[in-house]
Structure 1
């Protein structure tokens, strides 16, 4: 958000910021797509309190700092967290008929009307800075944590010592409350997976948040059979089967939204371990820009997904966001003029107007068999969850040669290695060269928390190490890190974004593929024609304050 001219004049005339420093911050805000007020604060050009008072003066409302205020549960109940986040508003005080409201944008009439309708009270408007507001949102999370701890403690006591068969244990009210609370807390914490791990002396619950596992709580071992039974009941699995792995799925309602959970149960030495993958059904596919595709990479992808036939391959290790990228591309291509069919393992999200098939190898429905059947359904665009073998590779090539656009994934470390991998599966070089249009290699890195991001100067030892990855001119840039706050669970990171390596197959590249050259030769040719290496894209995002250099190196070197 850029500032109105009048507000700029107020800030400049205040004398706190020099004109050249202000202009530099404006340029950075445009380049990074960030709020100008955030840039001014992050660079230390002006204190948050002083800037808040100047902006409040412009809006002609009082300024409020929420950093030291404890907002009560009663106040937070006036406005749901979702609405507070959407409108960027927070109640911090009230009288009998008036609520004091902190707003990032005091001119937002829609937000004002919402609060009046929701509370039936008069409102006093105050201005709050963006970082201060984001940090104050942690009050909602604190209340969730307190409620989570209280419910777990109360119901664990009630459930311990109860006996009965598995069905009885799984239907026990305290056990139901414990599992429901864990699921609700996982969603509130933005977890992608929930791990229930039975050990010799503890029953550990862990969440995977932003790609990293975190210990959440430890339950008494005695409650393990009841939790397992409850999940099996919900997933319609065999309750009395404890010797073999089982997979299932169930839905869970939180407020007005349904959450789908994919269940994997695996027998271990001390008992059955469970992993739940959370699949929010209301999640919309992200735009390519939101995924982290920018500049040349974004242009390459946009140009190639509009081609009527050929193959687009997305590559990377498990958990690198390949399926999310494919779903985003499908969402762009999903118009009334085309028919889209997919073969997946498993189908993670339902897409309207798309014919999605889940493979079932036990019944003979493999990727290759599913792809062969789909070709008789007159598709324009086909997505194959993964190309694992020669038969699937040959079917994918055949599909693209017969006028279809084929999207799929492979497991390789970089874009250039995808070509030799395809050839190693037995595909003919001239067919691979004539069908593959684009290869996208990717990883996911954690994003810096915008509430606690700060600049720092690396030590001489760190700078010496960074010379291996950065140009000399880049070593004088600002470096960013997250110091940790309530909003990000004191991790310094919140959310994830992709880093990419996009290889477009041109004529010179096709000649190399036919000659079956090495991945190294393909890489050199691609860089010569403008491909941005994975590490370079990550470093650009780190220098831009989106992630950190340490995080980029962590995922690229895995």
Structure 2
């Protein structure tokens, strides 16, 4: 079977003929000239009367059924995007039609639950991809000459240099989409073909998630909630990029946010604004560095310190010192699991005494795709014919008890810690994932895809 995810589709054919005809018969028109038409079909396409329906020479491209159904979904939005893009090119309008195209694209992506929009040019086609539930999928394609127009307009509203295409640029813009304000973070990167443009959609829906709705298993949830009642110590959320650490950390902040406590965050960048919390954005251009902020943060008399990421020995030493002197410190760190998190702290040359005295809990996590509840995992427009919809956390929580604290202090071999965890029946990320497979939330394939290490 061939794929058409990088193929130009002439969406005007949906207007010329009949949208319902194509959807009903599971036929995707790709291209037409005076004597022929090219269409994509799948094993369930209805072709009984197709020669009479078009009265032209017909060439066929057979593709996977779910891919074809996905390409036929949201057809109204895709036809509208095609119309605005066509008008923008024909009239070379950087403002009027490009603005309408971008508004429609952003609305489409938000309604599709996308976290990012990727705009890429390959040869004669520009691709518009949405990242949904961690996975990229091409939602729209158009002629490559459109890339310069959309690129220039995005740079214009993001106050970037429109003429610069050989160096990376970063910017932001805000727009009202369907009566709600959204912020968008923009990144441009030069490529062999042209540029890659990525828009990160920043809205408040993620921070409105609380710990109860993240999908943390009940036994782990109770351990985490108890740890958050501590008044001092270090709590770490670990995992690779894309494992949901940021959402978990913001949900923890929501849980801890109250008038009686001063919470200060150090972030690079600030993803979401939370009312009544002092959030400090790192800005190296003006000298507001991670080091400078952390060096002075204790003078602000905080109760809780949130460090976006422990990235080096300096940030770790500040976190350990602060948690030793009466502060609750919450931070993220890159590590595969709870035990590797401890190894990571040691690799950063932290004092074993400080680690053993301050580290209270490590939560290592991943995100797995949930089966789609709208279609019983058969594939539908809601899940973009992927059979999965939304994600949930699988995790392991290592509560640092006296025994583990003593082993850290003594620099015990890591296998000793593993042996002890086996004795106390410690549940790993894989164990938590298997439990969610038993509950029919996800598949074993998804668990091993994100948690095989």
Superposition TM-score tier, normalisation by shorter sequence: 0.7 to 0.9
1:236 positional shift: 1.5
Rounded to whole Å, the distance in 2 between the matches of 1:313 and 1:530 is 21
One of 147, 159, 165 as aligned partner of 2:76: 147
Q: After superposition, what is the alpha-carbon deviation per residue over 1:337-360, rounded to whole angstroms, capped at 9, x for unaligned?
A: 000000011100000001111112
CA distance in 1, matches of 2:381, 2:144: 31
Q: Kindly state the Cα deviation for residue 144 of structure 1 after the two structures are TM-superposed.
A: 8.8
| CA displacement, residues 446-470 of structure 1 (integer Å, 9 cap, x when unaligned) | 11111222xxxxxxxxxxxxxxxxx
Partner of 1:403: 326
Matches of residues 154-553 of structure 1 in structure 2 within 5 Å?
Answer: 154-162=83-91, 170-171=94-95, 173-281=96-204, 283-453=206-376, 482-553=377-448
Q: 1:205-231 CA distances to partner (integer Å, 9 max, x unpaired)?
A: 111111111111212111111111111
How far 1:542 sits from its partner (Å)? 1.0
CA distance in 2, matches of 1:258, 1:284: 15
1:49-107 C-alpha deviation (Å, 9 max, x unpaired):
xxxxxxxxxxxxxxxxxxxxx9xxxxxxxxxxxxxxxxxxxxxxxxxxxxxxxxxxxxx
Assess if the C-alpha contact under 8 Å between 1:260 and 1:281 holds in 2.
Answer: no
Structure 1 residue aligned with 2:19: none
Structure-1 separation of matches of 2:381 and 2:167: 41
Distance 1:441 1:333, change over 3 A: same
Structure 1 contact 416–520 (Cα < 8 Å) conserved: no
SS in 1 for 2:338: coil
Task: Say whether the 8 Å CA contact 2:207–2:272 is kept in structure 1.
Answer: no
Contact 2:88/2:94, CA 8 A, preserved across alignment: no
Q: Please state how far the C-alpha of 1:179 moved relative to its aligned partner.
A: 1.4
Q: Aligned residues, how many?
A: 385
Query: 3-state DSSP class of the match of 2:145?
Result: helix
Q: How does the TM-score come out when normalised to structure 1?
A: 0.66
For 1:278 and 1:197, locate their aligned partners in 2 and report how far apart those are by CA, in whole Å.
17
Deviates more, 1:291-300 or 1:306-315: 291-300
Give the Cα separation in 2 of the matches to 1:278 and 1:521: 45
Q: After TM superposition, give the deviation of residue 413 of structure 1 in Å.
A: 0.6
Report the Cα distance in structure 1 between the residues aligned to 2:223 and 2:329, rounded to whole angstroms: 16
Structure 2 unmatched ranges of 5 or more: 1-22, 24-69
Q: What are the equivalent positions in structure 2 for 1:95-110 lying under 5 Å apart?
A: none
Shift, 1:146, TM fit:
3.0
Alpha-carbon distance, 1:232 to partner: 1.0
Structure 1 residue ranges without an equivalent (≥5) = 1-69, 71-140, 164-168, 454-481
TM-aligned CA deviation for residue 152 of structure 1: 1.6
Give the structure with the higher percent helix.
Answer: 1
Cα shift at 1:526 = 2.9
What secondary structure sits across from 2:326 in the alignment? coil
RMSD between aligned residues: 2.0
